[in-house]
Chain A
């Protein structure tokens, strides 16, 4: 069973360009989370999605950032008009459907390191 897949692993963009980060959750997982890790910092929550729904976007910057998790295909984190401050590692995590279990572990992907020149 493949783990959480993220691509690309490394992405270089110039200021003003768009960045698209993709996340394929583990098989059977319908919850996806995106986190950002700035240099020398811990991970910070950005957004929590279920299939076709944004559940919690309290950590998303108000402008330039968007996320989706369509019925088919990977989850996409999109950053428009990137700036140098967007340089960071972006991690995706997935978890299974919430049900009777009170706890669902989040399994992390390897991250995408975004560098903005």
Chain B
């Protein structure tokens, strides 16, 4: 079974600084997707960024970027120029590629605090 591990229960960053959240995963599949979701206090799950395993290029979305190391099964999220609105729980998630159940497997999350 696939597992996702987030080893940092909590992280903090100063406003305007950069922070990196870690995620590792375990799978025997070669075709899969990886995601970072943000969950603010409202509890709404918001997709931050997605990475296809077959793509070597790291995904970026504005201030958010990932470092995808397929051989190491590592998928970290970098937030640049942190803003107060970035404070939230961040979940790393895995999904098999086409042909299997499309369920998401989540890590336990990292609580990010942004200090003014």
**Docked complex: B30-86 residues within 8 A CB-CB of A:** 33, 42-47, 50, 52
Chain B residues within 8 Å of chain A by Cβ, number = 23
B61 vs chain A, min Cβ distance (A): 13
B47 vs chain A, min Cβ distance (A): 7
Tell me the complex Cα distance, A93–B104, Å. Answer: 10
Selecting from A17-25, A73-81, A97-105, the interface stretch reads A97-105
A104 vs chain B, min Cβ distance (A): 7
Classify the secondary structure of B's interface with A.
loop
On whether A42 and B102 interact (CB within 8 A), knowing A91-B45, A110-B44, the answer reads: no
Considering the complex, give the chain B residue whose CB is closest to the CB of A42.
Answer: B106
A100 vs chain B, min Cβ distance (A): 10
Q: Which of A40, A45, A104, A110 contacts B42 (CB 8 A)?
A: A110
